[in-house]
Amino acid sequence: MAAIRERAYAYFHKPIPTGPLADMVQLALDATAWRDDIRVASARPEWITLEVRCKIEAAERTTQFIREMLADLEPQTAEDVAIAFRELLINGIEYGGKSDARKRVRASLLRTSRAVIAHIADPGKGSRCRPCRMPPSPTPTARHQAHRIPRRARQTRRRIRHPHVAQPGR
């Protein structure tokens, strides 16, 4: 947490992996204005909320911080959570924030003894669900046959479940 609050570009624990370190150094060398890209909104050991500028570089740095926060988990589990978090964050940056560096995505990670929960809130408008309409059947016969099958299946199920109960129409 201190690394994020002190506006470090990235943080790694020992032993330092050379591949990810080299990638992060290259990002740091290519970066221009980055000091305010990640803000700590709240932080406790089990729950962190960050405000991340809508830039892919900021998402990569945030993902690295999350990887380090999950370092005590089994390595494959930690990497799976970090990848899922990164995908959600980048989705919020690209689609909700339109990669506009003036906007921010609010990203939270909550850890319990049995789960890791990520919550991403982006500045986008969201989308509306429109009701799906089934296209009309090509022929009346096909439509009637489609409705008859579930009724027959229900009648058969009733006979199987309750053989002693009289069936309607018999």
Q: Which of 122, 118, 91, 87 is nearest to 104 (CA)?
A: 122
The residue that leads in pLDDT, 69 or 34, is 69
- Quick: pLDDT tens for 84-140: 999 999 999 999 999 999 999 999 999 999 999 999 999 998 777 677 776 666 655
The pLDDT of residue 90: 96
The pLDDT of residue 11: 64
**In the 3-class helix/strand/coil scheme, how is the chain assigned residue by residue?**
CHHHHCCCCCCCCCCCCHHHHHHHHHHHHHCCCCCCCEEEEEEECCEEEEEEECCHHHHHHHHHHHHHHCCCCCHHHHHHHHHHHHHHHHHHHHHHCCCCCCCEEEEEEEECCCCEEEEEECCCCCCCCCCCCCCCCCCHHHHHHHHHHHHHHHHHHHHHHCCCCCCCCC
Q: Which long-range contacts (CB under 8 A, 24 or more apart) does 21-27 make?
A: 24/60, 24/61, 24/64, 27/57, 27/60, 27/61
The pLDDT of residue 157: 43
Q: Which of 126, 121, 97 is nearest to 107 (CA)?
A: 121
Q: For the ranges 20-24, 42-46, 100-104, 155-159, which has the lowest average pLDDT? A: 155-159
What is this structure's pTM? 0.62
167 backbone dihedrals φ, ψ, rounded to 5°: -90, 145
The pLDDT of residue 167: 46
- Quick: pLDDT tens for 52-86: 999 998 998 899 888 888 989 999 999 999 999 99
- Side-chain half-sphere exposure of 23, counting CA atoms within 13 A: 12
